[in-house]
Copies of this chain bind each other. A is one copy, B any other.
Amino acid sequence: MSHNTFGHLFRVTTFGESHGVAIGCVVDGCPPRIPLTAEDIQADLDRRKPGTSRFTTQRREADEVKILSGVMVDDNGVQVTTGTPIALLIENTDQRSKDYSDIKDKFRPGHADFTYEMKYGIRDYRGGGRSSARETASRVAAGAIARKIVPGLDVRGALVQMGPHAIDRSRWDWDQIGQNPFFCPDAEMATFYESYLDGIRKSGSSIGAVLEIVAEGVPAGLGAPIYAKLDADIASALMGINAVKGVEIGDGFGSAALSGEENADEMRMGNDGVPLFLSNHAGGILGGISTGQPVVARFAVKPTSSILTPRLTIDKHGAEADILTKGRHDPCVGIRAVPVGEAMVACVIADHYLRNRAQNG
């Protein structure tokens, strides 16, 4: 079956296809009396929006969000949530009418064409239909609401590797994130990526990336062992983003090479009487529960499979064929996954924040 809802107490249900009338979502479980305007959501959407640089798809979408329900102006004249479901609508305005006859029946390698056909016996071939990354705009919109639920929460993301080229972490500067089209915190590497990705773009190829999400202000004690652990929910949320093939928390795969002495984060008391960890190999999560340190997650995004080089494939009737994907695509689809990753992590944390309130009253 299809499953288009995530979250347990903070629940998001998305709908819509790449080339349909509209996409959107219903956010259920948001507490009442939280100030919320369309502008709050729009700011996040604009960071994910296509067409903002030559390094993202040239599809032109305003991605303008409308709030259909769940808010009202209170006695103080502030628009706030009412506790009822918040429906958000984003109309598709640039679902360019074009000739799909070339790809209608063929399975594009690396795309979900073959698997959707296997699962559903039918698929919306226009722009990837439901499997298009366009769907993630709804997640970003939901994430904007999630961010408002947890006081003091700050979730930021960055591109830390493009192709085989990782950033230099000693140059990490959050202020750089908004200064280049890659969400890259390393200014030097951003300059390199510019020419590197130009080459890939011009050759009609594509490349993968690794993103990192850092959530600060996560209270200690969030997580729902044994099967909705904070890290398990983050893993699910990030792996569920289009084109993601790996997720790690804290030292991640690197922790396999560590000894017990190296890996365990020692503790002291801080001057403020607050427990202090001397390192954060754990990425802010132990036993599925937040430690109060920053939650650190990374995820790997494969290169988009839409490339100009012909590839071998078959069509739905079993005939062998070649295919190449013309049109508007991201040479490094990982770039725009940064705000999506932030949104997903924010949604998971908001969900667990509410669960914890249930437990602790």
Q: Enumerate A251-295 residues with CB–CB distance to B below 8 Å.
A: 251-269, 273, 275, 278, 281-283, 285-292
Copies held by the complex = 4
Interface of A is mostly: mixed
Asked if A202 is at the interface of the complex by the 8 Å CB criterion, the answer is no
- Pick the interface stretch among A40-48, A53-61, A180-188, A205-213: A205-213
Contacting residues, chain B, for A16 (C-beta < 8 A): 68-69, 85, 87
Query: Taking the nearest CB of chain B, how far is it from the CB of A339, in angstroms?
Result: 17
**B110 & A207 in contact (Cβ 8 Å cutoff):** no
- State the CA gap A210–B305 with chains docked (Å): 28
Asked if B131 contacts A225 (CB within 8 A), the reply is yes
Q: Are B68 and A15 in contact (CB under 8 A)?
A: yes
Task: Check: A246 CB closer than 8 A to any chain B CB.
Answer: yes
Please count how many residues in chain A sit with their CB below 8 Å of the partner chain's CB atoms: 157
Give chain A interface residues in 105-122, CB to chain B under 8 Å.
Answer: 107-112, 114-116, 118-122
Inter-chain contact A286/B111, CB cutoff 8 Å: yes
Which residues on B sit within 8 Å (CB–CB) of A3? Answer: 8, 28-29, 224-228, 355
Is A62 interfacial (CB-CB < 8 Å)?
A: no
* Residues in B whose Cβ lies below 8 Å from that of A228: 3
Cross-chain contact A246 with B247 (CB below 8 angstroms):
yes
Q: How far is the CB of A134 from chain B (nearest CB, A)?
A: 12
| A360/B264 contact (C-beta < 8 A), A5-B13, A68-B20, A85-B2 known | no
Q: How far is the CB of A161 from chain B (nearest CB, A)?
A: 6
Chain B CB within 10 Å — which of A109, A242, A303 has the most?
A109
Judge whether B303 and A263 touch: CB under 8 Å: yes
- What residues of chain B lie closer than 8 Å to A80, measured between beta carbons? 122
Q: Please name the residue on chain B nearest to A307 by beta carbon.
A: B260
Contact between chains at A4 and B85 (CB < 8 Å): yes
Interface check A248, CB cutoff 8 A: yes
| A31-B361, A318-B273 known; A258-B208 Cβ under 8 A | yes
Q: A2-B29, A286-B115 are in contact. Are A300 and B358 (CB under 8 A)?
A: no
Verify B109–A265 contact, CB threshold 8 A.
Answer: yes
What's the Cα separation between A318 and B20 when bound, in Å?
Answer: 50
Q: Given the complex of chains A and B, what is the CA–CA distance between A231 and B123 in angstroms?
A: 20
Contact assessment for A249 and B246 in the assembled complex, using a CB-CB cutoff below 8 Å: yes
* Cβ distance A320 to chain B, nearest Cβ, rounded Å: 6
Name the residue of chain B whose CB is nearest to the CB of A22.
Answer: B68
Q: Which residues of B contact A287 (CB under 8 A)?
A: 111-112, 115-116, 131, 242
Give the chain B neighbours of A9 by CB distance below 8 A: 1, 9, 355, 358
A51 near B: Cβ within 8 Å? no
In whole Å, how far is A108's beta carbon from the nearest beta carbon of chain B? 8
CA distance A46 to B238 in the complex (A): 34
A239, CB-defined interface residue at 8 Å:
yes
Are B121 and A32 neighbours in the complex by a CB distance under 8 Å?
yes
* B29 in contact with A1 (CB, 8 Å): yes
A-B contact pairs, 16 of them (CB 8 A): A2-B85, A4-B225, A21-B69, A31-B361, A84-B124, A109-B266, A115-B289, A130-B225, A131-B287, A163-B256, A209-B256, A231-B239, A232-B236, A233-B236, A269-B314, A357-B360
8 A-B pairs with the lowest CB-CB distances in the bound complex, closest first? A112-B287, A110-B264, A246-B248, A115-B289, A206-B260, A236-B236, A232-B240, A235-B239
